[in-house]
Amino acid sequence: MSDAAQPTAAEVRAAAEAVKTALDRHLAAVELRTGDDDTAVFEAFNALAAAAEAYDELLYDRYDEVTPFEIPGADGALPPYAGPDEPHALSLLIRRDYAVAEPQRLLAQARRVAELDGDGDAPRNAAKAAVSPLAAIGVLFGEFEPDEIASRHKEFGLEEGDSTLWVTAADELAEPGEWLNAPFDHAADPERIVCRFDVSAVFDEDDDEDEDRTAGETGHDGRRAVAGEHAGAGS
């Protein structure tokens, strides 16, 4: 960073004062907590996390120094919950990314599925799947449930990327077919997230860095599921 773009010493000092103010506010909110899902505590937590992150960045930009603490979930904290207190319906929003690591394996599995189809179109489907990776994907996802593909992805020549599951609250169940044309336009409102679960290889990198200082903690296949709930800290 150039000298012209560096924050001033006064800006760093102001950021430090903002952390102190946010810390006092958080403690006051905790002392007056009315329950496990106290909105004031949650908002004070997020404000403290944001203030600490801003101070850390300015401190580094100005003095090439960092703070000795880290607020968990500061980057991905959920916004204050604005959904119904007693949801009458839920929406599950799931995203799973895959890389096509072995196209030939993908094609072979699709051919096998098509050949076992048993109807009159099987030879035609098999031939189509044999020459088109795009068609092979359609064959496999038409035959297997997404959860089964997730558990057997290596068999299909796929490599896992990040995945996330959002559980969102709704006032009532949508009418049949109501949202099919635009399924994610309104359901992905972050203020209606009850909880979310993220799985990413980036947690491996965090663990590797942590192991240089302390013992890291990893989950199945070196991945970690992170849950964030409005009753506590964000994910």
Quick one: tokens of 115? 């050949």
Let me know whether 173 and 146 are in one domain.
Answer: no
Q: Which residues of the chain have pLDDT under 50?
A: 1-2, 74-75, 213-235
Residue 88 is assigned to a structural domain of this protein: yes
Q: Is residue 136 part of a domain?
A: yes
pLDDT of residue 71: 57
Query: Strand 89-100's sheet: what is its strand order?
Result: 89-100, 158-170, 193-200, 224-229
Specify whether the CB–CB gap between 60 and 66 falls below 8 A.
Answer: yes
Per-residue tokens: 173? 């169940």
- Tell me, yes or no, whether 39 and 58 share the same domain: yes
Domain presence at residue 70: no
Claim to verify: residue 110 and residue 93 sit in the same structural domain = no
Are 86 and 190 within one domain? yes
Range of the domain at 56: 3-63
> What percent of the chain lies above the pLDDT cut of 90?
37
pTM: 0.55
What pLDDT is stored for residue 117 in this prediction? 67
